[in-house]
Amino acid sequence: MKLNKGILYILIGASFFGFTPIFAKLGFSNGYSLGQINIVQMLISSFLLWSLALLKPSSFKGLTKRNILQIMMIGCFIGLTSIFYYGALKYLPASLAIILMFQFVWIGIILEWIFSKIKPAPVTIMSIILILIGVVFASNVFHGDIQGLPVKGFMFGILSAFTYAGFIFCSGKVAVNVDSRIRSALMVTGSLILVLILFMGEIPSVLPLEKNLLTTGIGVSLFGSVLPPLFFAVGMPLVSGGIANILTSIELPIAIVSASIILSETVTPLQWLGTAIILAAIAFNELGPNLFRIREPFPEQNEHLNH
């Protein structure tokens, strides 16, 4: 029963992520800038996450000056991912922006290879090839629809994949014993500081806070920064890492479906095929080694064979 609950929590958390593009696109359609949306998001996220963290004072155990700084620096990856991802959403259809960001899967594998000396297995290399094939279909390149789109949108999308992969790589290696709520609050604080520095000139334009900007900020905060980590914190310990990675990939079809229904974006059958290939590649990477592993004979069998 625990496994079922864990799966449910992870699916819900990943599904929340899939609705983030809706609110970002809403903000851009109302004339707000990339800086304004990010500033309001990080302010609201910081307030909500610190409110949750302060409910349990004992959760501050294990914190040192050094790991506080490390956690906040890792949070800068979240801020950069938000900036780059929303930048992609500003210039590209949401369905394409999310596909570009999802390249964090194979980028993360490369980071593990370079920095942790974990060489990718043949199954992993095959999965990377499948993901890249899926991207070709999902980007609708065969219909030529991407030719008129701004290059900066693609650059933002790929950069968001690199920074998100960097966040995942680093977050699993720093202060892992610190309470998850404190970690989340410190990370988003690091993001807030980064965003305020990068968009310092736009801080005055945020005030007085307009209703439409507040709605956008609450939406991207709840669905992008607050609710998913809370559900993941409960669900992740109840399932294996491989299953968790597969489950979190539901963000991709959720984002594309919501973009199609709510934003009225056109999603072709080839794009759905590409999305399916990407999801299959992720599942193949996680489950492939178990599916193709050759079973060793039991000790009794070995003894019998020796006779």
- What are the residue ranges spanned by the domains of the chain? 2-306
Q: What is the distance between the alpha carbons of residues 196 and 105, in angstroms, rounded to a whole number? A: 29
Nearest partner of 97 among 142, 161, 147, judged by Cα: 161
For residue 149, give both structure tokens.
């789109």
Using CB atoms within 10 Å of the CB of residue 294, give its burial: 0 to 12 exposed, 13 to 18 middle, 19+ buried.
Answer: exposed
Q: How confident is the model at residue 169 (pLDDT cuts 50, 70, 90)?
A: confident
Tell if the pTM clears 0.95, that is, is over it: no
Q: Are 83 and 252 in contact (CB under 8 A)?
A: no
Our CA angle for 67, 248, 153, nearest 5°, is 85
Q: What is the distance between the alpha carbons of residues 218 and 23, in angstroms, rounded to a whole number? A: 9
pLDDT digits (tens, 9 = 90+) for 87-135: 999 999 888 898 899 888 888 888 888 888 888 888 888 888 888 888 8
Q: Residues 132-160: what's their mean pLDDT?
A: 81
Q: Residues 194-222: what's their mean pLDDT?
A: 93
Helix spans in 20-64 (H): 20-29, 34-53
Q: What is the distance between the alpha carbons of residues 72 and 76, in angstroms, rounded to a whole number? A: 7
Q: What is the pLDDT of residue 146?
A: 65
